[in-house]
Chains A and B, each alone.
Chain A
């Protein structure tokens, strides 16, 4: 059974810092991995999707990497801003058999 964990559970940084969020999964036979952000009381917004054949994806200040063999993905946020404050979740797609979400990392960027 696929299990997804995220470290740290919460993170507080001053504005301008570069930071890394971690996602680990136990079954490396994944189809893709997707990173989302969720603002309090809101739905999920897709940030990046990495297919199993890819190693990384970039969008603006965000860069996500994937290492299937080690069961890890990282989300790198450059030059963090207060507007980046949210909960960040990763989710893995096990070839359509199930979609499993991690518990999320709650990020606070202090001005």
Chain B
């Protein structure tokens, strides 16, 4: 397996533009996570899905952020409109089945290489 795939790897955009980040989890994994990493705040969980259903989006900073998982092999994180303070590295991770029903898996999380977003 190629691991978790994210695209694009780098994104530079201007304030106010829409940004869409993409993630393909590891085949067979049923939990998917979106994280944001900044120097100031470290790694923060934004949202996670279990079986394509959003379970916890309490980490999503504001309404400008939205995430979807239309099927088991694809997820998007959208920022509209983008702002300079959204500049960060966005990671996607996936994990294999297990754990509490309706909760996230207890198995290992595997991370993608990240998307470095710069909003000017």
Chain A interfacial positions (CB closer than 8 Å to B) = 31-32, 34, 36, 42-46, 49, 51, 89, 91, 93, 95-104
Contacts and interface: CB of A to CB of B under 8 A. Distances in A.
Contact of B104 (A49, A99, A103): A99
B42 A103 contact: yes
B102 A96 contact: yes
Given A42-B113, A98-B45, 10 more contacts: A43-B113, A46-B108, A46-B111, A49-B108, A91-B109, A96-B100, A99-B104, A101-B44, A102-B42, A103-B42
Interface residues of B, number: 27
A88 B114 CA distance: 17
Interface of B: 33, 42-45, 48, 50, 55-56, 58-59, 91, 93, 99-100, 102-104, 106-114
Contacts of B103: 31, 95-97
A95 B111 contact: no
A92 B85 CA distance: 26
A102 to B, nearest CB: 8
Given A43-B91, A43-B111, A99 B106 contact: no
